[in-house]
Amino acid sequence: MAELVQENWVVLVLALLVGLFVAWWVFVASRRTRVEIQRGDEGPAKRNQALIDAAPVARAVDIPPPTPMGLAGVGEAVQAAAEPVHAAAPSGDDLTRIKGLGPKLADQLRGLGVTSFAQIAAWDDAEIDRIDAQLGRFQGRIRRDDWPAQANLLAAGDTEGYEAKFGKL
């Protein structure tokens, strides 16, 4: 046995290396999902006050308690459940319809109090400068994509005019 090992140690070392490589592949290289733990320098996550303040989407339905009459009251319960629930209408317009304005920018604008096309359409140069300065890496987008003109057409519901000037919605 010892002789065999001595004579073939190169092969055995190769086998060992192959095993090592397979283990490395299994445990390191093929592990595509990585979990990154962010050591928070930013403090705890902020609560979403808008979500807390929003009216509940669904409202409780009063279901009459069962009565000795058997199924009496079921009709009312079904009727109550079938009534459309009036969810709180989202305030403002979908700003992401403006070309060059994505969800992140829409969030930023919402944070700045801009929620409707009419507001954007009414911006003058000074206002554009003021908002633009707060858009971080998106600075310059307002004029580049002419948000006020887009918003003006969108606020007026002039889809044809919009598509003629800015392309398909």
By CB under 8 A, name the binding residues for another protein: 1, 4-5, 8, 11-13, 15-24, 26-28, 31, 34-35, 37
Please return the burial class of 148, using the count of CB atoms within 10 Å of its CB with bins 0-12, 13-18 and 19+: buried
Of 39 and 86, CB closest to another protein: 39
Nearest approach in angstroms of CB 152 to another protein is 49
Nearest to 118 by CA among 156, 168, 166: 156
Provide the Cα torsion 141, 145, 148, 151; round to 10°: -110
Nearest approach in angstroms of CB 26 to another protein is 8
Of 19 and 75, CB closest to another protein: 19
Nearest approach in angstroms of CB 54 to another protein is 35
Of 22 and 63, CB closest to another protein: 22
Distance separating alpha carbons of residues 46 and 100, to the nearest angstrom:
27
DSSP one-letter code for 27? I
